[in-house]
Amino acid sequence: MAQVRIEGRVERSGVTLRYLLEGRDGAPVLMFANSLGTDLDLWDGQLPEFAPLLRVLRFDMRGHGGSSAPPGDYRLEELAWDAVAVLDALGIAQAHLCGLSLGGLVAQMVALRHPERVASLVLCATACRIGDRAGWEERIALVRGGGMTAVAETIIARWFSERFRRDQPERVEAVMRMLLATPPSGYAGCCAAIRDADLCAELGAIRAPTLCLAGAWDPVTPPSCLEELAARIPNARMEVLEAAHLINIEAEDAFHAALGRFLAAQGAL
């Protein structure tokens, strides 16, 4: 079957969103949502695995990559509407939605507010509430005052285990470049969205089949966070991978295996 590659931008409420759709023409859509401080390149490693079988849709969340970075605080509802706007721009009625960290919060919100658009849900290294208000306020102040260099080293140490940072320095450096390229206004705006987000009481309303993937050594959203998601979402199960926060990179093979099994069970593969 023919392969498709569509790169474009869609505007919603004055914000321009960059997207990239690649893969097998006419196949089900697997939509990835990036974490705070990364862009759609976060999912480069997943393309060779899934693009031959599916249409893989990636987009830059507002404030990141090639999307607009308006000043001020963002809201999680806005980020969810952005994701739906990308689907609308491509005429995609429904997708298998996979989000990591902030992307996982966005995925939960889409599943709650726009359930008809979600065929299945994969929540990676995320939670229904991430961190506390004081911590996010401190992070926002650091970035708005000193740019991304003020927080980059600390973030990378939380994203990857010490062993991975030692053994795979070139992959860590690529993610560091992505992080440093993030506009401070966009990063801080998304921090505010996370600061204000608490979906824990709503998760029982999610009806999409759900896979929760945790990193065994993740200090940001430890396995207990994914256990809570799996317990609160009616049709959910959980797996733990040997990685820190960016499980799709550090535990790439195990991530592909878990995601592939889940998608096959949903009839997507």
d(CA 76, CA 28): 26
Considering the entire predicted model, what is its pTM?
0.97
When pLDDT is cut at 50, 70 and 90, the band that residue 88 belongs to is very high
When pLDDT is cut at 50, 70 and 90, the band that residue 185 belongs to is very high
Q: What is the pLDDT of residue 132?
A: 96
When pLDDT is cut at 50, 70 and 90, the band that residue 143 belongs to is very high
For residue 1, pLDDT over 90 is answered with no
E strands, 86-235, are 95-100, 118-124, 210-215
What phi and psi, each to the nearest 5 degrees, are found at residue 195? -55, -40
Summarised one tens digit per residue, pLDDT across range 13-37 is: 999 999 999 999 999 999 999 999 9
Q: Three-class SS of residue 25? A: coil
Number of domains in the chain: 1
Q: What is the CATH number of the domain that holds 24?
A: 3.40.50.1820
Summarised one tens digit per residue, pLDDT across range 200-238 is: 999 999 999 999 999 999 999 999 999 999 999 999 999
Q: What is the pLDDT of residue 135?
A: 97
Identify the residue whose tokens are 């089900």. 28
Q: What is the pLDDT of residue 131?
A: 96
Percent with pLDDT over 70 in the chain: 100
Q: What is the pLDDT of residue 264?
A: 98
- The helix (H) or strand (E) run that includes residue 4 is strand 3-12
Separation of first and last alpha carbons in the chain: 14
Domain enclosing residue 69, as ranges: 3-265
Buried b (16+ CB within 10 A) or exposed e, 148-187: beebbeebbeebbbeebbeeeeebbeebbebbeebbbbbb
Mean pLDDT of 117-144: 97
Mean pLDDT of 77-99: 98
Mean pLDDT of 77-104: 98
Summarised one tens digit per residue, pLDDT across range 233-255 is: 999 999 999 999 999 999 999 99
Summarised one tens digit per residue, pLDDT across range 34-66 is: 999 999 999 999 999 999 999 999 999 999 999
